[in-house]
Every structure is written in structure tokens, then in C-alpha cells.
Structure 1
Amino acid sequence: MLSLKHFLRRCLGNRTLRSVAYESMYSAASLSKAVSGTSLPTWQLTKAIVVGVSGSTRVLETAGSLWQAAALERLGLPISELQTPTASTPAELAKILRGHMLGTPVETVVARINKRGMMSTSRSTITRLLSGKTLPKRELLEEFLIALYVGRDAIDRLLEVNHFLAVESVDRFNRELA
């Protein structure tokens, strides 16, 4: 499979980083780092490179898929976990939620949740949700996933996982009291 690094290099073709930097509004140094493969570039930088050299929707979709795969690999999360989550701890659930959030700033998620008007939230609430230290409330989890445009089937599966973890946590607490 084609890696993001090789894909971006192929997109550049014979163009210089300086010419692409001029069109993309990123520095040549940032572009160089992105195509070197030493670290994962942001989605915004990846998109700027592809749009700056191609502009093709098909090429942009391919770049998006490769970027998502690379970002999930960096998280240590197989793509199958986004489609059929099997978290057994709050930390694992948070990792899956971070996988769904790839490339979306926290501020954007907060704005989308607040705009829907079903509930009000803050950056710190979303940060806590993503920390994995506690289980999120059902309503917050659902609004968070809707704000990320996650499909209804995946939302329902993640709500089930969250419910299972909550029931398991209560059971464990009751056993410790006995």
C-alpha cells in the first residue's frame, strides 16, 4: 500500500517545495518535513499540498484516506476499531473517540455541539471526554459523535460500549463493597 509520504512526494512531481509553499501559504520547511515522513503532518498541511499541486477531488480523497490510516496507525488504533469498537476500559473508549476526531480541532467540535442547541459544552469538557479517565455521559457522547459526523450505526455501537463499561464499573464497585 502506498504510504502518505510516498503519495505526497508523487503529488509534488518535479515541482519545487518553494513553488508549492508559495501557493499553499506554508513554508518550504513545513512542506519538507511533511514529505520526509519523519512525522505525521496535520490534515490541513496535507490538504494544502494536495490542493496546491493537484486540485483533483479524487486525489484529495486518496490523500484523506492515507492521512487517516497514518494517523490511526500513530494512535495504535486499527481502522476496524472505528467501525466495530470493542473497548474494555474508559481509556480504550477515549482512544477510539480520538480516532474519530482525527484532524478536527476541539474548538470545532465544541462549536458544532453548541450550535445544535441540544446541550452546551466547553473545551475542558471535551478534553476530559478524550482523556479516558472517566466515562462520558450518554448525552455528551452522542452529541460529540454527531458533531464529528459519525454515522448512526457507529454512534449506536459506541453508546452500547459506553453503557456496558458503565454497568461493569458499577458491578465492580458493588463487589468491592461486599
Structure 2
Amino acid sequence: MSATAVSPPRAILFDRDGTLVTDVPYNPDPAQVRPVSGARAAVESVRAAGLSCGVLTNQSGIGRGLLNREQVDAVNARIEELLGPFDVWEICPHHPDDGCRCRKPEPGMILAACRRLGLDPSEVAYIGDIGADIDAATAAGATGVLVPTPVTRREEVEAADLVAENLAEAISLLLEGRP
């Protein structure tokens, strides 16, 4: 983890798959939603601190024709049942080849969430599990925190300024400036 001092943000945004819930590729089924260990406590601590919280997620399965928006919305509704309501959701439905500005590592979803929350990106942190998440935060001017999983590549960990072992440590780092 970096020793960089962190100013407490006014909002914390989360990646969905692999960060808040177990990654089930192109999941169309709310019954398959499983929060990762500590997800509910992490989100509740953000709310208890009086911060806005939201979820940003690439859902290229829509653009690939593997699932539809209604299925993604049903999965997201299940996530809210398990973790509580979020202030903002941003979803990129595009195929990776579409060249959109919202698909991470592009900053579009973070910038859109900031506009909806009335915040400057510098007042926002984004927690994710892969380099594209951190790259999106950096491109938007937000603080990125990487919480590696088995799919996170070593070079992504090495490139990240802020790395936390789990969601609780990421939240502590952001709210208290220390792990």
C-alpha cells in the first residue's frame, strides 16, 4: 500500500463484479448474486459516514447480445436488496469495440456519477479490483483504490497508488487516511 495521504472523499463509488459481488460473467440471474466478504459492512460504513455511494459497472454482455438491460437491472436490484440502496448507478452497456467514453478504463461513468451527485471528481473515490477501474478513476481525476482479487494482474497492483487488502481496509484508508 502507498503511504500517500488521502483526504476523505464526499462520495465513494464501487465497481460491481469482483468488488462488491462475486464475479459471475454476464450474470442474467439475480439468484446468482453473492456479496463478497465484508461488502455490506463496507457500504454501511460509507453511509454511516454521511457519504454518497454508488456503483459503476461495465456490462458488455448487453452489447454482445448475451443479456439485456432488464436482466442487468434485476441483478442490480438484488444487489440493493442485499447491500442496501445506492445513491447512483452507472452502467456501460457497450461492446468493447464500440469506442464509447463510458466503458472503463474511460472516465465517462465516474464523470456522469459525479455530475449526478453534484461533486467534483476530486471529491470522489472509486474502489475496484482491476487496473481498468483505477485507470478510470485517474482519468476522471478521482482517487482510485485497488482491492486485488485472484484475477488482478501483478502489474495492475504495482501500478496502483493505493492498494488495500479488502473492502474494509479500502474504506479505512479513504475515511481515516490509513489502513
Larger RCO: Structure 1 or Structure 2 (Cα < 8 Å, ≥ 6 residues apart)?
2
- TM-score after normalising by structure 1: 0.31
User: Whose helix proportion is higher, 1 or 2?
Assistant: 1
Bigger strand fraction:
2
TM-score w.r.t. the length of structure 2 is: 0.31
Point out the structure with max Rg over C-alpha. 1
